[in-house]
Amino acid sequence: MGSLDRLIEADAIGRLLARDASLFTDDVDTRIAIGQRLGWLDLASKASARFPLLKNLADALRQEGATDVVLLGMGGSSLAPLVLARVLGNAPGHPRLHVLDSTSPIAVSAMLQTLDPASTFVIVASKSGTTVEPLALYAIFRAWLDDALGRPAAGRRLIVITDPGSPLEKLRQKETMRLTLSAPPTVGGRYSALSLFGLAPAALIGIDVEGLVGRAAAMESACRNEPRHNPAALLAAWMADGLDAGRDKLTIVTSPALRPFGLWVEQLVAESLGKQGTGIVPVLATAPPDPDVLGADRLVAVVRLRDDAITQRWSSEAAAAADITEVMLGDGLDLGAEFVRWEYATALTGFLIGVNPFDEPNVAEAKRATSDILAGRSAAPRACCDLDGTWVTFAGAAHTPESVPATRVEALRAWLAHAGQGDYLALLVYAPDDPAYREPLERAAQDLEQATRLPVCLETGPRYLHSTGQLHKGGPNTGVFLLVTSRDRTDFLVPGERYTLAALHRAQAEGDLVTLAARDRRVVRIDLPTGSPDAFASLAADIAAATQT
């Protein structure tokens, strides 16, 4: 029986809309937990009640001279605003939005150097109110604002988005920040795009939130249709049928203007479905790949603007080599509809493949490992060699070669030797999300994919820990990981903590290394002597060279 027929037979749409958690599990305790995370089903329908609040807040910030808004968040609290800001941008006369979802001291330093504290407002976003990254960044930005403006004025520049009663809300009261925007506690982070986590930052930079929500509400209505006329059910059935046929690598090809949207889909799909040894691996194409690299394990979702003839032509040509589905947007405001379509589709796919799409059981492992490293209770595996200041470590199922590599290219070839048919390569790079770092690595990833015919994922740390990190550890053991870190001297004290920001950044990478190794994943670490763009570009050149015989 095909997946669409299974959705019909199970009355999956009706039961999901009725918030019947038995659709996903027979376990009573798990049903209770799922039932507490289904508030996203009608977010668009209810969003209009928030419009007056958002308009008043946006008007107030403009009157107070805001030129920049910085969002401190991770994962579900940051990716939807990041997508909206990069695709739609700020309206004339409204502040710019900067999303900081990194503990890289280089990234923090670069951002602070571009901002004027007199016209900068800061949003601290965390559903649980305990997420380490935004709390550490808040401490740094609070000290920066306090020093420039004085504590009372600095507090007026700080806005919190969190669940009611969370530790972050209590911190806001204690430290006299401006206000809290409360998010529904029944909405998990990665399903929260149309809650205040996504809508508030969008409204502050002048995005047409009413138009965005209107498109989302129309899709919400369409997702209540019976499966054969339901855009989310059709997408879910396509993904589940693909997985059943061994097509578990979901390559996402977008129009250039929509490329940031892939980051949001990546988190939703990977964290929702990558568990219990199964899952769908999202692969974000930096450009439409050559059709001949699309192997039998690929699904291809083309998300394009209706008038994008180039991507449309590629899609038509690639259809002969791959299983392709197309999603078309009229303009950027249709992202509201796509948030809904993909949320419903991912939830339904969870039912079809037999996993709970609302938990993230393996994410906490890396968090614990990070805490243990910061506290000195554990340490990362030791490097096997020092190659002119680059330290190389083989860990987990990637055993140190009998002949220790003499060059970085040799070490990278030893890493690639662990990959085989059905695997994917993942570059886990702890560096700023900045073109100076990403573009050389993107070219190297394209070279890798062309040479190996394997899917290649380029991930920014620590962002991916709250996204694909769940899949890496809980999904199928088909990833071959290259973890890239650096020993840069740029650093910040984190007020109130015993560690610095650089120590946290490094511990997050090492915590993930420890966790991947413990799960017998194939992982090699390259630790560069400096965090400069040139150092990462040099490594990218070596990655490309490693593919040549």
How crowded is the C-beta side of 229, counted as CA atoms within 13 Å?
A: 5
Q: How far apart are CA 58 and CA 229, in angstroms?
A: 38
Query: Can you give the pLDDT at residue 321?
Result: 86
Query: Can you give the pLDDT at residue 241?
Result: 98
Domain that holds residue 378: 363-546
- Decide: 119 and 363 in contact? Cβ < 8 Å: no
353, 374, 395 - which closes a domain: 353
Q: Show the DSSP H helices in 115-166 as ranges.
A: 132-149, 151-156
Kindly state whether residues 347 and 369 are assigned to the same domain.
Answer: no
Q: What is the CATH number of the domain that holds 188?
A: 3.40.50.10490
- Decide: 229 and 122 in contact? Cβ < 8 Å: no
Give the total number of structural domains in the chain: 3
- Decide: 21 and 245 in contact? Cβ < 8 Å: no
Strands (E), 163-280: 179-182, 249-254
Q: How far apart are CA 425 and CA 191, in angstroms?
A: 27
Is 521 part of any domain?
yes
Kindly state whether residues 199 and 91 are assigned to the same domain.
Answer: yes
SS3 289: coil
Query: Can you give the pLDDT at residue 341?
Result: 98
Query: Can you give the pLDDT at residue 364?
Result: 86
Q: How far apart are CA 296 and CA 114, in angstroms?
A: 47
Is 469 part of any domain?
yes
Kindly state whether residues 488 and 515 are assigned to the same domain.
Answer: yes
Kindly state whether residues 369 and 469 are assigned to the same domain.
Answer: yes
- Decide: 463 and 111 in contact? Cβ < 8 Å: no
Is 78 part of any domain?
yes
Strands (E), 85-131: 96-100, 120-125
Is 215 part of any domain?
no
Give the Å distances, CA to CA, from 157 to 81, 120, 183. 19, 7, 20
Kindly state whether residues 10 and 46 are assigned to the same domain.
Answer: no
Kindly state whether residues 161 and 113 are assigned to the same domain.
Answer: yes
Rg (CA), the chain: 23
Is 502 part of any domain?
yes
Q: How far apart are CA 419 and CA 150, in angstroms?
A: 55
Kindly state whether residues 189 and 248 are assigned to the same domain.
Answer: no
Q: How far apart are CA 399 and CA 409, in angstroms?
A: 17
Which pLDDT tens digits describe the chain residue by residue (549 residues)?
799 999 999 999 999 999 999 999 999 999 999 999 999 999 999 999 999 999 999 999 999 999 999 999 999 999 999 999 999 999 999 999 999 999 999 999 999 999 999 999 999 999 999 999 999 999 999 999 999 999 999 999 999 999 999 999 999 999 999 999 999 999 999 999 999 999 999 999 999 999 999 999 999 999 999 999 999 999 999 999 999 999 999 999 999 999 999 999 999 999 999 999 999 999 999 999 999 999 999 999 999 999 999 999 999 999 988 999 999 999 999 999 999 999 999 999 999 999 999 999 998 888 999 999 999 999 999 999 999 999 999 999 999 998 999 999 999 999 999 999 999 999 999 999 999 999 999 999 999 999 999 999 999 999 999 999 999 999 999 999 999 999 999 999 999 999 999 999 999 999 999 999 999 999 999 999 999 999 999 999 999 999 987
- Main-chain phi, psi angles of 288, to 5 degrees: -55, 120
- Decide: 338 and 198 in contact? Cβ < 8 Å: no
Kindly state whether residues 315 and 464 are assigned to the same domain.
Answer: no
Is 217 part of any domain?
no
- Decide: 536 and 484 in contact? Cβ < 8 Å: yes
User: Which residues partner with 396 through β-bridges?
Assistant: 522
Number of neighbouring beta carbons within 10 Å of residue 164? 11
353, 387, 407 - which closes a domain: 353
Kindly state whether residues 259 and 183 are assigned to the same domain.
Answer: no
Q: How far apart are CA 237 and CA 545, in angstroms?
A: 40
Angle, CA 255 vertex, CA 254 and CA 261 arms, to 5°: 50
Q: Which long-range contacts (CB under 8 A, 24 or more apart) does 397-404 make?
A: 397/477, 397/520, 397/521, 397/522, 398/480, 398/522, 398/523, 398/524
Is 220 part of any domain?
no
Kindly state whether residues 58 and 181 are assigned to the same domain.
Answer: yes
- What residues have CB less than 8 Å from 20, skipping those under 6 apart? none
Q: How far apart are CA 178 and CA 364, in angstroms?
A: 31
- Decide: 4 and 237 in contact? Cβ < 8 Å: yes
327, 353, 379 - which closes a domain: 353
- Main-chain phi, psi angles of 55, to 5 degrees: -65, -45
Kindly state whether residues 197 and 48 are assigned to the same domain.
Answer: yes
Is 31 part of any domain?
no
Number of neighbouring beta carbons within 10 Å of residue 544? 20
Helix, strand, coil percentages in the chain from 3-state DSSP, rounded to 5: 50, 15, 30
Kindly state whether residues 71 and 13 are assigned to the same domain.
Answer: no
Query: Can you give the pLDDT at residue 1?
Result: 77
